[in-house]
Structure 1
């Protein structure tokens, strides 16, 4: 299978997007995986960004985000995918390619994470009218959740890096026999 073949591109995009949407649908079966399911669904879009390009990855992200918003029963999972976990693995590829110095790269990534998480929950509460989440985030629990997220974010970064290394060293050879 060759990467530059148009049918290969379409197939890779379709399979990755379908896998991503399937993972998002698992949130209805595993309700306590509110953060893990969108994170895995975003990782499923990585092969598109690596093999075809970031614009194709962004198009697939948009399709999965729209379908997820329409068919997912859990709006919080859908919003987490839309606001951060869906596009961040592709954005990480871009940031790692363009910013060479570690400190600005880490600062930018943490800034993106914090702004999008706060924006996500603002949108869930204000735009989607999920007042029960606002009640859950009262009394400092929202700040604690953001702190836990900031402590977990480096683990997610490391996981993404390792998944990309495994993809390049093993999976790519299985998919594309040049």
Structure 2
């Protein structure tokens, strides 16, 4: 593909990702699912163009979403964890299987704890609800979040396989002339 086609494709992915991110304000219970859907377009650009183009889509979506999406928690999740994970996943998957799972779990827990620490201490969000839970709620939330992250990791893997097997030929036919 020519760079002009890649640029146009990247712009379309950023626009579609930003539109998806806007849905998190309309449908608030999808605060975690919508950033995951938007990150699929980062994976798409990595597959079709290169990881650098995928990184460009990630940054473009992060900037546009930070400026226009009212649901800032979804934006924070996209920027801090979900948005760039399809780019890191290829590095984690090169590790031996057990080591890869451990690294992914440590990555998730580290990023999640750091993100919520920043949200609570830098932005001054109240921690009263967490203090009233007698200390069991935070570990429970981390375990549940890790389970969701594992499902997200598996979903990305399966979607990538499906893309290669079913959709990539059709997509490339559209852009064969370019």
TM-score by length of 2: 0.89
Matches within 5 A, 1:75-90: 75-90=72-87
What is the match of residue 92 of structure 1? Answer: 89
62-71 vs 29-38, which moves further: 62-71
Answer yes or no: is 1:175 the counterpart of 2:161: no
What is the match of residue 39 of structure 2? Answer: 42
Q: Distance in 2 between matches of 1:42 and 1:136?
A: 30
Answer yes or no: is 1:129 the counterpart of 2:99: no
**Alpha-carbon deviation of 1:176?**
0.6
Q: Distance in 2 between matches of 1:95 and 1:59?
A: 20
- Runs of 4+ with deviation above 4 angstroms: none
What is the match of residue 62 of structure 1? Answer: 59
What is the match of residue 4 of structure 2? Answer: 7
Q: Which sections of structure 1, spanning at least 5 residues, go unmatched?
A: none
Q: Distance in 1 between matches of 2:37 and 2:130?
A: 24
Answer yes or no: is 1:118 the counterpart of 2:113: yes
Answer yes or no: is 1:144 the counterpart of 2:137: no
What is the match of residue 100 of structure 2? Answer: 105
Q: Which sections of structure 2, spanning at least 5 residues, go unmatched?
A: none
Please give the secondary structure, in 1, of the residue aligned with 2:29: coil
What is the match of residue 156 of structure 1? Answer: 152
Which whole-Å deviations, capped at 9, do the CAs of 1:39-96 have from their partners, x for residues lacking one? 1111121111111111221122112112211222122111111110000011112322
Matches within 5 A, 1:16-31: 16-31=13-28
**Alpha-carbon deviation of 1:126?**
2.0
